[in-house]
Structure 1
Amino acid sequence: MAVTTTNLIQGPATLYLGDFGATEPADADVNTAPAASAFPDLGGTQDGVKLTIDQTYSNLEVDQIVDVPGSRLTGRMFTIETNLAEPTLQNLKYLLNDGTSASGAGFESLEPIYADSATQPTYRAVLLDGWGPDQKRRRVILRKVLSNDKVESTYKKDAQTLFTVKWTGFYVSEGIAPFKVIDEKS
């Protein structure tokens, strides 16, 4: 098999977080940052951004043949993981899936949601803007996500403080796919 070197990809990605159901940028705008009012930039990351799509297939079987005649998709989990290098209170609010912010003369604060555990969580949408083949841009949109893994922040004298985050994607609706990948073309 011949290698098409222009299909090789390397480079950082930029993450944006918007409200669930926010108007997505047009596919043709894949090379343009989304409107900051709809999808704020989460700032610098460290150790890359990892997109995972974990698919589960269940085999079909029949008595008459020994080979597996086929499979059906029975589960899918998709996540985006990274370390946010800008551990701001606004980013913490996003990682905690909301909260109450306050500010005044000389301070800013955040309190997490602490209502009934059955309260509907605040879903968001994540846009990952990175590189694609031919040094063109690639955008991945996860349309309904929650930060539902532990949030860590370590303070050390010889290491940078980061926020670890893992957003997990969820079903949207019968007519809307849960995620989309768009590549820029010439």
Structure 2
Amino acid sequence: MGVNTDNLIQGPATLYKGAYGATEPADTAVNSTPATSAWTDLGGTQDGVKFGGDQTYSELEVDQITMRVGSRLTKQDFTIETSLAEATLENLALTLNGGTSASGTGWKSFEPNVTSSATQPNYFAIILDGYAPGQFRRRIIGRRMLNVDSVELPYTKDKQTLIPAKFAAHYVSASIVPIHIVDATA
């Protein structure tokens, strides 16, 4: 099989946040910006945006055969990971999975959620808009997400302040898959 250079991808992605259950853009709208009424652009990122899938398989074996005879999927994790370059209170609130925000003339504030561990977290949706082979667009929708990474706001003399984020997909239902990926085509 020869190399098809049209299948090579390079370029930035844009992240959007929506409420859990927000109306998703139609697959036919993969080349359009998501509706601003339901989706908020998270702004600039640093060092790219990464979609990841981690699958854990349990081995099946028998005494009579020395090789693995089969495998069964026992765990699956899908993540969207980046460093948010715009260190706003809104992005901080997102990476801390919610809290209480307030604002007034000339000020705004945020207090993280510190309720009981039995309280349901504030799930949200994430859209990753990037490139697909052929210079087309690819959209990855995480339907029920939470940040599962540690959050820090480093203030240093010679480095930009970034908010690390690792958004993990969570089970939605038997009929709704937590991740949806669509590519535009010719």
Q: Shift in Å at residue 125 of structure 1?
A: 1.0
**Long gaps (5+) in structure 2:** none
- Aligned match of 1:48: 48
Instruction: Give the number of aligned pairs.
Output: 186
Question: With structure 1 as the length reference, what TM-score do the two structures score?
Answer: 0.96
Which deviations, in whole Å up to 9, do the C-alpha atoms of 1:104-125 show, x marking residues without a partner? 1211111111222211000011
Partner AA of 1:164 in structure 2:
P
* Alignment deviations for residues 13-38 of structure 1 (CA, whole Å, 9 cap, x no partner): 00011111111110011111111121
List aligned pairs for 1:150-161, cutoff 5 A.
Answer: 150-161=150-161
Separation of aligned partners in 1, 2:152 and 2:164: 5
Correspondence for 1:163: 163
Note the C-alpha offset of 1:150.
0.6
* Residue 123 of structure 1: aligned partner: 123
Q: CA RMSD in A?
A: 1.1
The equivalent residue for 1:101 is 101
What is the CA–CA distance in structure 2 between the aligned matches of 1:105 and 1:19, rounded to whole Å?
26
Give the superposition deviation at 1:158: 1.4
CA shift at 1:95, angstroms? 1.0
The percentage of aligned residue pairs carrying the same residue is 60
Matches of 2:68 and 2:159, distance apart in 1:
51
Q: What is the deviation of 1:168?
A: 1.1
Determine helix, strand or coil for the equivalent of 1:17. Answer: strand
Partner of 1:75: 75
Deviations 1:109-149 (A, max 9, x none): 11111222211000011110000000000001111111121
Tell which deviates more after alignment, 59-68 or 30-39: 59-68
**What TM-score does the superposition give when structure 2 sets the normalisation length?**
0.96
- Structure 1 distance, partners of 2:54, 2:86, is 28
Moved over 4 A (4+): none
| 1:136 maps to amino acid | F
Corresponding letter in the other structure for 2:90 = Q
